[in-house]
Amino acid sequence: MSSLPSFLHHRWAAAVLAELDRTRGSRFVTLTNRLGISHESLRRTLTSLVDDGLVARNPGYGHPLRPEYVLTARGARVAPVCGDLLADLRELGVEETGLKKWSLPVVLALGGPESCRFSALLGELPELTPRALALTLKDLATAGLVDRAVTDGYPPASAYSLTRAGARLLPVLRRLESALEEPPPRPYPLPLARTG
Single-letter code of the amino acid located at 68: E
As a residue count, the chain comes to 196
31-90 tens-digit pLDDT = 999 999 999 999 999 999 999 999 999 887 777 677 899 999 999 999 999 999 999 999
Q: Supply the pLDDT for residue 184.
A: 57
- Contact by Cβ (8 Å): 109, 3: no
Where in the chain are the domains?
A: 4-93, 97-169
The confidence band for 6, taking pLDDT boundaries of 50, 70 and 90, is: confident
* Average pLDDT of span 92-112: 93
For the cut 50, the answer to whether the pLDDT of residue 175 exceeds it is: yes
25-34 tens-digit pLDDT = 999 999 999 9
Question: How do 55-57 and 116-117 pair as beta strands?
Answer: unpaired
One-character DSSP codes across 114-135 = S-EEHHHHHHH-TTS-HHHHHH
* Average pLDDT of span 172-189: 77
144 backbone dihedrals φ, ψ, rounded to 5°: 80, 20
Rounded (10°) angle between helices 13-23 and 28-35 = 110
Beta-carbon neighbour count of residue 173 at 10 Å? 19
Q: Does domain 97-169 have CATH number 1.10.10.10?
A: yes
Specify whether the backbone of 62 is left (phi greater than 0), alpha (psi in -120 to 50) or beta.
Answer: left
Distance CA 67, CA 28 (A): 9
Of 161, 136, 138, the closest CA to residue 5 belongs to: 136
CATH entry, 4-93, from 3.90.480.10, 1.10.10.10, 1.10.3720.10, 3.30.420.140: 1.10.10.10
For residue 1, give the 3-state DSSP assignment: coil
* Domains 4-93 and 97-169 belong to one CATH topology: yes
